[in-house]
Amino acid sequence: MIEVKNLTKAFQKHEALKNVDLTIKKGSIYGLIGANGSGKTTLIKHLVGIYKQDKGEILIKGKKVYENNPIKRSIGYIPDDFYHFPMYSIKGMAAFYKKMYPHWNEERYLSLLNDFELDENKRVAKLSKGMQKQVAFILTLSTMPEVMILDEPIDGLDPLMRKKVWKYIVEDVAEREISVLISSHNLKELESICDFIGILNKGEMLLERDLDDLKSDIHKIQVVYKEEIPKGLRKDIHILHEEKRGTVHLFILKGNQEKIVSKFHEYHPVLLDILPLTLEEIFIYELGGAGYEIQNVIF
């Protein structure tokens, strides 16, 4: 559904994106993560046709996006800062969207308005940031998009509203097989709904992986030996990070889990546990954050 091939973009002498490849399948939720300044928003603005690439290709449904209005009308885009006309009410913004998007669903709009308990006669400018974000979701979902591009979509929403928003998105993916890209710093929530993850680092795509496959390749192991860690243990294993807390040694490792565990057992540990690894930890260690403190370790 969405294909990005060798995308490169420079602003003056700064190369913001470098030969980026990205693929989002139909009926998939793709989480785009990266540190501040990694190029996420620049990439998103190419996907929705705001920026024209210097090099490479951006295709949605096999067609180029830039200056292609029919394709743009199939995209539901929610930026970090929702744009609205200063004097318009929710009702006025809905009328504008209705003119712009041929598949506008009035029945869905009214149903969403009721579910989010918003008064359509309220001026959008008078609403809080969180309520404006709710309005953005109501309007975007009512256009019945085939593709949704979301840049920090839950920023400013309370936990109840976040849960409600994710519910509608997941339902649309399941029922209408829309394709969704979400860029967010809230990795815990991305982990709960995304099936594919891309990590952008300094304008380059560090990796693109199915989330389950990604988790199967990086492991957190805590181990206790009677004495110090055996000298031969570190041979032939890819250690991303290690630390010692009392008698317990904690390792973050990359590779085949069975082979890694077998290596540890060669030296007869007193205790060996494989701990669950979060998307946040994977993100930190893929970016080489060996100096970061690992949280929520159970000893």
Each residue's pLDDT tens digit, 8-56: 999 988 999 999 999 999 999 999 999 888 999 999 999 999 999 999 9
Rounded distance, CA 203 to CA 7, Å? 10
Model pLDDT for residues 233-272, shown as the tens digit of each residue: 888 888 888 888 889 999 999 889 999 999 999 999 999 9
- Strand pairing partners for 243? 250
Percent of the chain with pLDDT over 70: 96
Model pLDDT for residues 123-139, shown as the tens digit of each residue: 999 999 899 999 999 99
- Side-chain-side CA neighbours of 190 within 13 Å: the count stands at 29
**What is the reported pLDDT for 284?**
84
The domain limits of the chain are: 2-202, 216-286
Please report, as a single letter, which amino acid is at residue 210.
D
Percent of the chain with pLDDT over 90: 68
Q: Which residue reads 């930890």 in tokens?
A: 281
pLDDT classification of 289: cutoffs 50, 70, 90: low
pLDDT classification of 297: cutoffs 50, 70, 90: very low
Task: Name the architecture of domain 216-286.
Answer: 2-Layer Sandwich (3.30)
**What is the reported pLDDT for 163?**
92
**What is the reported pLDDT for 295?**
40
pLDDT classification of 296: cutoffs 50, 70, 90: very low
pLDDT at residue 102 is higher than 80: yes
Rounded distance, CA 200 to CA 250, Å? 27
Model pLDDT for residues 143-199, shown as the tens digit of each residue: 999 999 999 888 888 999 999 999 999 999 999 999 999 998 889 889 999 999 999
pTM of the predicted structure, to 2 decimals: 0.86
pLDDT classification of 81: cutoffs 50, 70, 90: confident
Is residue 112 within 8 A of residue 141, CB to CB? The reply is yes
Q: For residues 241-266, b (16+ Cβ closer than 10 Å) or e, as one string?
A: beeeeeeebbbbbebeeeebeebbee
- 106-115 helix and 90-100 helix, angle to the nearest 10 degrees: 150
- The CATH code of the domain at 2-202 is 3.40.50.300
Rounded distance, CA 118 to CA 256, Å? 51
Rounded distance, CA 142 to CA 96, Å? 12
Is residue 124 within 8 A of residue 135, CB to CB? The reply is yes
**What is the reported pLDDT for 288?**
66
Where does 152-224 show beta strands of DSSP type E? 179-183, 196-201, 204-210, 218-224
| CA proximity to 182, closest of 157, 156, 147, 142 | 147
Residue 70 CB: number of other CB atoms within 10 A?
Answer: 9
Q: Do domains 2-202 and 216-286 have the same CATH topology?
A: no
**What is the reported pLDDT for 242?**
87
Burial label for 274, CB within 10 Å (0-12, 13-18, 19+), is middle
